[in-house]
Amino acid sequence: MHLNTTFRTLLLAPVFFISTSVFAQSPTDDLGPLPTTLSTQQLDSLSALEPAPLNVPQQAHDRRRLPRRTIPLTPEELAYRDIVRALGKDDHRFVHCELAGGKIRTGAIVAIDESGFSLRDGILLSTRIRYSQLTASPRTVPAVGTHVVNALKWTGLVVGCIAAAPLALVFYPLVAAGVIKD
Question: What single string gives the DSSP state of each residue in 15-77?
Answer: HHHHHHHHHHSPPGGGPPPPP-S--HHHHHHHHT--PPPP-PPPPPPPPPPPPP--PPPPHHH
pTM: 0.53
- For the chain, domain boundaries: 71-141, 144-182
> Is residue 178 very low, low, confident or very high in pLDDT (cuts 50, 70, 90)?
confident
Instruction: Let me know: does 121 contact 113? Beta carbons within 8 Å.
Output: no
171/154 Cα distance (integer angstroms)? 26
Q: Compute the mean pLDDT over every residue in the chain, rounded to the nearest whole number.
A: 81
At residue 117, the pLDDT reads: 94
At residue 90, the pLDDT reads: 83
Instruction: Let me know: does 61 contact 106? Beta carbons within 8 Å.
Output: no
Overall fold of domain 71-141? SH3 type barrels. (2.30.30)
Average pLDDT over residues 95-111: 91
pLDDT in tens, 41-93: 877 877 777 766 656 565 556 677 777 777 788 899 999 999 999 998 887 88
